[in-house]
């Protein structure tokens, strides 16, 4: 296998992201990651007997590590990540599996959790992996292990992903039968959901695993992990359409070590109607200016507030990467009494699942103690978490097209508007699209008077095509351009 950009890692080699030259192989890894991510369902421990369907189940402990792929080919063994990082050479875990690599025919690709034995007495933690990979030639790579949980290429003649999971599991269990550092994940066959609580108590509450992974006979994969809470500062809110005196959703953030605030996520599960109205009463007097605009999932822009209120948010999981292995990123903001909120730069973060507001914490204050960003580092690894943030100077956008149409009916005027702009920012920050196409549709007599559609495009040609399609579909007889 051709690997680029090698640097010492123990007696082996470390290859950074983008080092794998085999594009077909990398596409296979990304496809698997996306497919499995789409099958995952997070279930709260309290719903373990009602929220898991499709018995019988294959149940495994959730190892607190990183998803990597073990590739056996031509008698050699290599570890690859979904974003093209690689570990090769005389690493103990790879040395152990090379005899197996010499026995298999063709190429074998095995997904699993790369973990590192804890330096203490507890179970492995995801942060231990980063520690074991640090230090170059002096890195403690002897701590690394690999827990295989699936097979996506090789061994099975009919193609692993066309075979039942039980067959794939048996194949990797046989391959690693004598393994110490590399082995197949422990798997229990459970005939019904009633048998899951005992395993959760033994493995998770007993401190042996981060959670349970439950594979149903219907193809769904359930992840059951203990819930936890995060204290975050409230940055803004949206209003309920049907009740403007009630909060619809919250935008919250965490405080980085340099005192800046990074957007952490949204929370729309806020309790009863009365709870939402009380939140509005609390937040409305704190409204402040913001040059940063942030839309909610419904398209409404958040109204920003001064950073004075702390919310305790219950979540089920944190995800530092998207389904294609790219780091999650969110905006870092700075607040001043005179100017309000200002966007600085996007930095790595972790998105959360199933946020629920527990309560407002009047006993806590926003800052590097109570709402510290490090709360999420206790459960996942996020790059550049301690880095000081500097404002990124980005060029201004340029309006390419602006067209407006009106139509009068029953004494009211409806408006449709097309706006296309070139951001001039995509080269400096890939999170920005090259072009944005924005369609506005306003009709006073409609149940939802203002409707918007936003599309992005990587080129002027595609932006023009999107704009032309919007005009064709929405500007009919009776509309006059103004």
**283 in a structural domain:** yes
* pLDDT score for 121: 67
Can you give the residue range of the structural domain that contains 293?
A: 228-377
113 and 204 housed in the same domain: yes
Mean pLDDT value of segment 321-326: 75
Among residues 140, 9, 127, 31, the alpha carbon closest in space to that of 79 is found at 9
Binned at pLDDT 50, 70 and 90, residue 14 comes out as: very high
- Name the DSSP letter for residue 192: S
- φ, ψ at 287 (rounded to 5°): -60, 135
411 and 373 housed in the same domain: no
- Write down how long the chain is: 482
**392 in a structural domain:** no
Integer Cα distance of 117 and 144 in angstroms: 7
> What residues have CB less than 8 Å from 158, skipping those under 6 apart?
none
Task: Name the β-bridge partners of 87.
Answer: 14, 79
25 and 171 housed in the same domain: yes
Domain boundary among 172, 190, 224: 224
**389 in a structural domain:** no
105 and 127 housed in the same domain: yes
Rounded to the nearest integer, the mean pLDDT of the chain is 91
Mean pLDDT value of segment 270-298: 93
* pLDDT score for 120: 63
Q: Is the pLDDT of residue 399 over 70?
A: yes
Q: Is the pLDDT of residue 361 over 90?
A: yes
Task: Name the β-bridge partners of 184.
Answer: 148
Supply 1's token pair.
Answer: 């296998």
Among residues 174, 204, 170, 227, the alpha carbon closest in space to that of 63 is found at 204
Domain with 262 in it: what CATH number?
2.40.50.140
Please give the sequence-ordered ranges of beta strands (E in DSSP) within 368-434, or none if there are none.
398-409, 412-422
Structurally, the chain folds into a number of domains equal to: 3
- pLDDT tens-place string over residues 85-103: 999 999 999 999 999 999 9
* pLDDT score for 15: 95
Mean pLDDT value of segment 348-361: 91
- pLDDT tens-place string over residues 178-217: 889 999 999 999 999 999 999 999 999 898 888 999 999 9
* pLDDT score for 445: 83
Contact 310, 365 (CB under 8 A): yes
**391 in a structural domain:** no
**385 in a structural domain:** no
Side-chain-side CA neighbours of residue 196 (13 Å)? 31
356 and 330 housed in the same domain: yes
Percent of the chain, pLDDT > 70?
99
62 and 190 housed in the same domain: yes
Percent of the chain, pLDDT > 90?
69
182 and 280 housed in the same domain: no
* pLDDT score for 372: 93
184 and 240 housed in the same domain: no
* pLDDT score for 480: 94
C-alpha to C-alpha distances, 196 to 41, 48, 49, 52, nearest whole angstrom = 16, 7, 7, 9
**76 in a structural domain:** yes
pTM over 0.75: no
- φ, ψ at 99 (rounded to 5°): -60, -35
- φ, ψ at 276 (rounded to 5°): -65, -35
- pLDDT tens-place string over residues 296-315: 887 788 999 999 999 999 99
187 and 59 housed in the same domain: yes
* pLDDT score for 260: 94
170 and 303 housed in the same domain: no
- φ, ψ at 128 (rounded to 5°): -65, -25
* pLDDT score for 119: 67
**447 in a structural domain:** yes
273 and 211 housed in the same domain: no
**382 in a structural domain:** no
Domain boundary among 224, 240, 261: 224
Domain with 18 in it: what CATH number?
3.30.470.30
Integer Cα distance of 389 and 332 in angstroms: 8
Contact 119, 128 (CB under 8 A): yes
Domain boundary among 171, 196, 224: 224
247 and 218 housed in the same domain: no
């Amino acid at each position: 296998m051709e690997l680029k950009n090698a640097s010492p890692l123990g007696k082996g080699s470390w290859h950074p992201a983008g080092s794998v030259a085999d594009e077909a192989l990398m596409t296979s890894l990304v496809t698997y990651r996306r497919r499995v991510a789409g099958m995952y369902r997070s279930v709260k421990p309290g719903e373990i007997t009602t929220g898991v369907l499709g018995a019988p189940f294959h149940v495994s402990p959730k190892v607190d590590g990183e998803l990597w792929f073990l590739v056996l080919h031509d008698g050699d063994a290599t570890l690859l990540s979904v974003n093209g990082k690689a570990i090769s050479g005389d690493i103990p875990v790879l040395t152990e599996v090379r005899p197996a690599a010499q026995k298999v025919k063709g190429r074998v690709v095995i997904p699993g959790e790369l973990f590192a034995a804890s330096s203490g007495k507890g179970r492995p933690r995801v942060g231990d992996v980063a520690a074991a990979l640090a230090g170059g030639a002096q890195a403690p790579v002897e701590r690394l292990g690999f827990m295989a949980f699936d097979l996506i290429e090789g061994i099975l003649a009919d193609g692993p992903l066309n075979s039942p999971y039980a067959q794939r599991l048996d194949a990797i269990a046989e391959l690693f039968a004598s393994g110490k550092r590399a082995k197949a994940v422990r798997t229990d066959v459970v005939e019904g959901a009633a048998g899951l609580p005992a395993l959760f108590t033994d493995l998770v509450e007993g401190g042996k695993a981060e959670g349970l992974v439950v594979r149903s006979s219907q193809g769904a994969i359930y992840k059951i992990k203990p819930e936890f809470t995060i204290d975050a500062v409230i940055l803004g809110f949206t209003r309920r359409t049907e009740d403007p005196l009630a909060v619809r959703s919250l935008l919250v953030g965490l405080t980085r070590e340099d005192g800046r605030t990074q957007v952490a996520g949204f929370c729309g599960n806020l309790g009863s109607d009365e709870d939402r109205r009380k939140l509005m009463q609390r937040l409305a007097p704190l409204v402040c200016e913001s040059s940063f605009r942030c839309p909610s999932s419904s398209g409404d822009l958040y109204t920003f507030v001064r950073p004075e209120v702390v919310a305790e948010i219950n979540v089920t999981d944190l995800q530092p990467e998207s389904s294609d292995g790219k780091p999650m990123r969110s905006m870092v903001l700075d607040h001043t009494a005179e100017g309000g909120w200002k966007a600085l730069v996007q930095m790595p973060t972790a998105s959360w699942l199933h946020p629920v507001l527990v309560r407002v914490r009047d006993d806590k204050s926003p800052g590097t103690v109570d709402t510290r960003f490090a709360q999420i580092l206790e459960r996942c690894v996020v790059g550049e978490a301690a880095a000081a943030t500097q404002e990124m100077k980005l060029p201004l956008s340029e309006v390419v097209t602006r067209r407006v149409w009106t139509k009068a009916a029953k004494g009211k005027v409806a408006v449709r508007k097309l706006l296309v702009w070139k951001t001039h920012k995509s080269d400096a920050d890939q999170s920005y699209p090259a072009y944005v196409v924005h369609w506005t549709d306003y009709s006073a007599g409609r149940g939802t008077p203002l409707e918007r559609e936003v599309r992005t495009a990587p080129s002027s040609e595609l932006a023009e095509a999107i704009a032309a399609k919007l005009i064709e579909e929405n500007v009919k007889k009776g509309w006059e351009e103004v």
